[in-house]
Structure 1
């Protein structure tokens, strides 16, 4: 079970024109916005990545507006685990479990989640908060990551798992996000 004391969120490369070209992009962006807001309500550490932002563009406005109080970590490798600034942020966050959302599922999400899993972190792929240009590539990424031992969750599932109790202070805010 997820615990808000030991869980963080990693947002991977939801940027530029590519964010508008992935399968079901409107749902992806909407769900990721809810996930970010939920993580903020719960006080989770949030790491925000952008792949080669000078070439691919910035994170979409709907999400960057929610993250305005922190900066994105630029990366050039598909596996964010190869980026020293990201790995320092992962270690500084002092959590052992990471929720992962972003694009493209079969490239940067897959490689980053796989790397974190290999390092001993617990990784939960938020399946309705990831995408690729094709649904087949998204499905392939999920299958390969599950075979590596990565857990799969959904937006509602992980947020309610983190809240745990309808009497929790954060419950109403989370409920309003999901409705």
Structure 2
């Protein structure tokens, strides 16, 4: 499918209008990395997750007013990226046809610019993040623990998760960090991913599982982060998962 047709699907279905952007506005910087045993040795050796990576899927300005609880997805992603800085976890991000749909939102760019973790950002036309060669080629062997945040849960997040599972990776989809334009799509997508073998969990649960032990040096910083973002976490859980008592 051509880029024009793909954008047409997004634009007319979601009520979006193209806005030209400059190349310089797409990325603050790019620190491409290939993830192998040596890349993650420093952080992975002391974490329960030995080869962790974070995927940020298509959090772009053009989707801000179209996606259900978009701001809550951004809040969770910001927390995850701050954790990445503490735990030295590499981050991979994509944009979907950035020339038409805009750059990664400023809130996320700000977190990335403040971090020295390995970072790769790629533009794509495929719905799966692995459709971007820069990201696909960074994972030459299976066995990584990959956490996914972003949009849309039933399209790009689903196809990325399925491709990662097929390649032999362990996939964590954060229920407080993914969304779609139509909220009814979200629980169906999460149920499907769970049945396919993905782990559907929350950002806080993933954080503590990734560490695995309170004796690691980074634990106090992560505990501080969890406390500082407590209100944001509650807002994201309420907005994306609702009140379990109702």
**Normalized against structure 1, the TM-score is what?**
0.91
Report how many aligned residue pairs link the two structures: 177
Aligned to 2:134, which of 85, 88, 95? 85
CA 1:52–1:126 in 2, change beyond 3 Å: closer, same or farther? same
Aligned to 1:17, which of 53, 62, 69? 62
1:44 aligns with 89
- Secondary structure of the structure 1 residue equivalent to 2:112: coil
Runs of 5+ in structure 1 lacking a partner? none
Q: Looking at both structures, which has the greater relative contact order when contacts are Cα pairs under 8 Å and sequence separation is at least 6?
A: 1
Instruction: Identify, as 1 or 2, the structure richer in strand.
Output: 1
- The reply on whether 1:63 has 2:108 as its aligned counterpart is yes
- The reply on whether 1:169 has 2:169 as its aligned counterpart is no
Give, in whole Å, the separation in 1 of the partners of 2:217 and 2:82: 15
Over residues 146-167 of structure 1, what are the superposed CA-to-partner deviations in whole Å (9 max), with x where a residue is unaligned?
1111111211001011222233
Asked whether the equivalents of residues 3 and 162 of structure 1 are also in contact (C-alpha less than 8 Å), the reply is yes
Please report how far the alpha carbon of residue 116 of structure 1 lies from its aligned counterpart in structure 2 after TM superposition: 0.8
Larger radius of gyration: 2
Alignment of 1:149-168 (within 5 A): 149-168=197-216
Please report how far the alpha carbon of residue 91 of structure 1 lies from its aligned counterpart in structure 2 after TM superposition: 3.0
Runs of 5+ in structure 2 lacking a partner? 1-46, 228-246
**Normalized against structure 2, the TM-score is what?**
0.67
**Bigger mean CA deviation after superposition, 2-11 or 131-140:** 2-11
Please report how far the alpha carbon of residue 5 of structure 1 lies from its aligned counterpart in structure 2 after TM superposition: 2.4
Asked whether the equivalents of residues 49 and 145 of structure 2 are also in contact (C-alpha less than 8 Å), the reply is no
CA 1:163–1:129 in 2, change beyond 3 Å: closer, same or farther? same
Give, in whole Å, the separation in 1 of the partners of 2:95 and 2:140: 19
- The reply on whether 1:125 has 2:173 as its aligned counterpart is yes
**Bigger mean CA deviation after superposition, 123-132 or 18-27:** 18-27
- Secondary structure of the structure 2 residue equivalent to 1:86: helix
Give, in whole Å, the separation in 2 of the partners of 1:96 and 1:144: 21
- The reply on whether 1:98 has 2:143 as its aligned counterpart is no
Q: Which runs of 4+ in 1 moved over 4 A?
A: none
Please report how far the alpha carbon of residue 17 of structure 1 lies from its aligned counterpart in structure 2 after TM superposition: 2.3
CA 1:20–1:171 in 2, change beyond 3 Å: closer, same or farther? farther
